[in-house]
Each structure stands twice: as structure tokens, then as C-alpha cells.
Amino acid sequence: MSDFFGNIEPIKFEGPDSTNPLAYRYYDANRVVMGKTMQEHLRFAVCYWHTFCWDGADPFGQSTMVRPWIGQSDEMAAARLKAEVAFDMFSLLGVPYFAFHDRDIAPEGATLAESNRNVQAIVDVFEQKIEETGVGLLWGTANIFTNKRFMAGASTNPDPDVFAYSAAQVKNALDATHRLNGQNYVLWGGREGYETLLNTDTKRELDHMGRFLNLVVEYKHKIGFDGTILIEPKPQEPTKHQYDFDVATVYGFLKKYGLENEVKVNIEVGHAVLAGHSFEHEIEMANTLGIFGSIDANRNDYQSGWDTDQFPNNVPEMTLALYYILQGGGFTTGGLNFDSKLRRQSIDPADLLYGHIGGMDTCAKALLCAANMIEEGSLKSLVEDRYAGWNTEAAQAMLSKESSLDKIAERVEREGINPQPKSGRQEYCENLVNRFI
């Protein structure tokens, strides 16, 4: 154990009345809710990047946070210390999973081969830590957006050498994820998009991205990786226009390149909001299209209009999200990764714990609310009643191959069909939801 967190003891569940800021008030890992423990439902993960790789520097100011592994001359020793502190934190929180980019865990070398060796060395450390602590890998990914070689994209770069380099880097990250028994492998389209159409051939770029994803899926099968490949939609930032705009756009892309049964989505709260959607909209679209995979939990500042990646603290928003996740059958290989970071003035090691404790409690409380909503059932029966007309034979017949516009028109005339509006009862529904929060 490192001394980064001082003498902080593992975080325990103390119940809603607890005033201890280093205790869970709602997250009770072994509590059974709708037939599964909270831990099994929520499958929490801590992300490596915001948590261990950011020191508070922003475009206007220097670093604010003490991170003894950042800025050291012996970068590999620093990477080992970072891994040590990371697993200390996973154990203090009692989270079952973590997630990382290849470049989060080990320094980039002078060549890809050297970078790969650095990643392998830390993966060796992880292997042992996983063995010791029982913490698992929710997902791995490759950072193919930070280095300037990726400034015009990775698989969508006009330069085929960047496509090749990206493929080689993803191969190594997928191998690492496989070795660590990762539950999923994520591709967030970091700079897969464009700044201006004036210099961009979108047809080529999409075809290249489609082939790239097929290469990833083919390789996954080749090595016998049985985790899920996930795309993480985001509409903009860092590029002005990102190709993986939202869930529906990703589905169209997967269909076009024949991958709709191979790839699912990792939905991030802040990205949904940037796309002009609610989080639950994106979840329910993914359920509807059969591609729901995992989530990146955070929240945006509704005022600033950026992906501010704050820790979730909005119980009503998370309740609706979990309501739709549970209705869709819950997570399988996916989970709830905190793609969340501290604010720049939160400089104490304990702040990392407060952020995660608050996020986990928000989600746990939301899980209880969502489970109550489902068990009580009024909202579901309201929706069923609203569509009940479709259960008749005549209604179903319209959807069959034998029906036609003229047959339907003839029936409308013959039966004198004259629909009367019915209330959608939105306020009633909203009040109903609030009964459970």
C-alpha cells in the first residue's frame, strides 16, 4: 500500500443517516435489489485518465493537484507508483472494476515497439494486482487522439500511415485488454471527424472507419476475446463534427458496415447532452436498436455547454437512466464507469474519494428509486395501456405484409374510423416518477 491516501480506511456502508463524508449512505454492495446485489447491478468502474493522469492544469493555469507520479524523470517508476495508488484507491472504494487508455498507464516511447513494451510492463503489474485484489478490468482502450500524429484523425486520417499506426496501437491495447480479462473494449472516436468540410472527403473517411472497425472485430475473434466491442458516441469536441454523433448515428454506421450484431455502444451522460438529447433518450434508443452496452457516468454543467465530466449528483436523472437500463435487462458485460473528474480546486487526495463516493451513492439511490418504480409498475402499465389498441387483430393486420395503403383506406371508410384524441397525461407521469425519488 502506498501512503498517498494517508490513513483513510476502506469506505463502508453506514446508511442514509450517516454524516461521515467517507462512508456510503446508499451503496451497500451486497444488498439485493430485484434479485441481484447492488454490486452486480451497477458494476462500478473508476477511470484511470481523469483520476490519475490529470493534475489540475487547464488552458489558463498550471497544475494544482499533488500527483507524485506526474513529471518524474524515471517515467516507468512513476507509472508503477501510479498503478500502486490506483489499486489502493479501487480497494478503498470497493469498486469491482477500472478502465484505462494505453497511454494513461505507461509512458509513450520513441517508437511504437517501445511504447508497447512499456504498456506490457504495467499490464504485468496489473495482472498481479488483479490477482491480489479481485478488482477487474471493465474495459481497455487506445489513446489515438493525443499525440500530434493523430491531429487529423486515426482511422479517418488522410495519411494511410496513420491508419496503420492506429491499427497497430489498437491491436496492442486489445491484446492487453484480453490478457487482463477485460469485459469490453471501447473505441471512442477521439478525432474521427473533421474541422472543415473544405479539406475533407467524408465518403473515404467513413469507409476507412468502417473497415477499421471490421479489422478490430475480426481480430477480436481471431484471439478469442469474448468481451464486447463498444463505440462511444460523441457529437463534437475535440473535432467540430465527430462521425459517431449519437446512438442513432452509430447504429446507421454499424448497419452500413455490417457490424450491428458485433458492436454495441458505451453511452456517456455528457455526450448525450452535447448531442441535444437526454441521457435516458440515448439509453432507450440503444435498447430499442439492440446495441446497449455500457455507460460512462458523469454530468455536464448545463450552463457552459462543454463536456465538463463532473461526478454525477443528479438522482432524478440517474433514476430515469437506471429505469431504462433495468427495463432493458440491465448490464451484461457493461458497467458504470465514472468518466468524471474533480474540479481544479479539489486538490486533496480525499477529494478523489469524495467524488467517487458521491457518484456511487447517487447511482445506488437511483437504483433503489428505479427498482421501486419497476416493482410498483404503474408507469409501465400506463405505457402498455396507451398502446393497447394495437393488440387487436385489425390493428396488427395493418403491419403484416398482406396489408396495403388501399386496403387500409377501404377499411377506414367501411368502418367509419374516426379517431378521438386521448390525453398523454405527461404531468401525471412526471408526478408518478417523483413519487419514487
Separation between Cα atoms, residue 266 and residue 231, nearest integer Å: 6
- Specify the residue for cell string 509512458: 107
From the list 206-214, 337-345, 347-355, 370-378, the region that binds Ni ion by CB under 5 A is 337-345
Residue 232 beta carbon to ligand XLS: minimum distance, rounded to whole angstroms: 5
Out of 268, 282, 284, 361, which residue is the one contacting Ni ion (CB under 5 A)?
268
Position with the least CB separation from ligand XLS: 188
Residue 235 beta carbon to ligand XLS: minimum distance, rounded to whole angstroms: 11
DSSP calls for 98-164: EEEEHHHHS---SSHHHHHHHHHHHHHHHHHHHHHH--EEEEEE---SSSGGGTT-STT-SSHHHHH
Beta bridge partners of 186: 230
Nearer to ligand XLS, 22 or 151 (CB): 151
- Contact yes or no for 310/358 (Cβ under 8 A): no
Cα–Cα distance, 249 to 332 (Å, whole number): 23
Identify residues 225-254 at the interface with Ni ion (CB under 5 A): none
Q: CB 271 → Ni ion: shortest distance, Å?
A: 6
Interface contacts to ligand XLS, rule CB under 6 A: 101, 141, 186, 188, 232, 234, 268, 296, 307, 339
Per DSSP bridges, beta strands 12-13 and 23-24 are parallel
**Which is nearer to Ni ion, 306 or 428 (by Cβ)?**
306
Residue ranges in 224-348 assigned as alpha helix (H): 247-256, 269-274, 279-289, 315-327
From the list ligand XLS, Ni ion, none, partner contacted by residue 141 (C-beta under 5 to 8 A by kind): ligand XLS
Give the residue with the Cβ less far from Ni ion, 118 or 177. 177
Closest CA to 346 of 63, 93, 48: 63
In the complex, the smallest distance separating the C-beta of residue 188 from Ni ion, rounded to whole angstroms, is 6
Binding mask 360-399 for Ni ion (x = CB under 5 A): ----------------------------------------
CB of 36 to Ni ion, least distance (A): 25
For ligand XLS, the closer CB: 50 or 178 = 50
Give the residue with the Cβ less far from ligand XLS, 140 or 379.
Answer: 140
**Closer residue to ligand XLS (CB): 8 or 168:** 168
d(Cα 377, Cα 435) in Å, to the nearest integer? 12
252: phi then psi, degrees, rounded to nearest 5: -60, -40
User: Residue 268 Cβ, how far from Ni ion at the closest point, in Å?
Assistant: 4
The nearer residue to ligand XLS, 279 or 436, going by C-beta atoms, is: 279
Q: In angstroms, what is the minimal distance from the CB of 237 to ligand XLS? A: 7
| CB 268, CB 339: distance < 8 Å | yes
Contact 395, 389 (CB under 8 A): yes
Say if CB 142 and CB 170 are below 8 A apart.
Answer: yes
Least distance CB 307 / ligand XLS (angstroms): 5
**What does DSSP say about strands 292-297 and 263-268: parallel, antiparallel, or unpaired?**
parallel
Residue 54: contacted member of Ni ion, ligand XLS, none (CB under 5 to 8 Å, by partner type): none
For position 339 contacting Ni ion by CB under 5 A, the verdict is yes
Q: Kindly report the CA angle at 305 between 302 and 310, in degrees rounded to 5?
A: 60
Mark the segment that binds Ni ion (CB under 5 A) among 56-64, 100-108, 118-126, 265-273. 265-273
- Binding residues with Ni ion: total (CB under 5 A): 4
Among 205, 296, 317, 361, binds Ni ion (CB under 5 A): 296
Instruction: Name residues contacting Ni ion, limited to 307-326 (CB under 5 A).
Output: 307
The answer to whether 169 touches 112, Cβ cutoff 8 Å, is yes
Which residue in this structure is represented by grid cell 494505453? 102
Q: Can you give the binding site for Ni ion, defined by CB under 5 A?
A: 268, 296, 307, 339
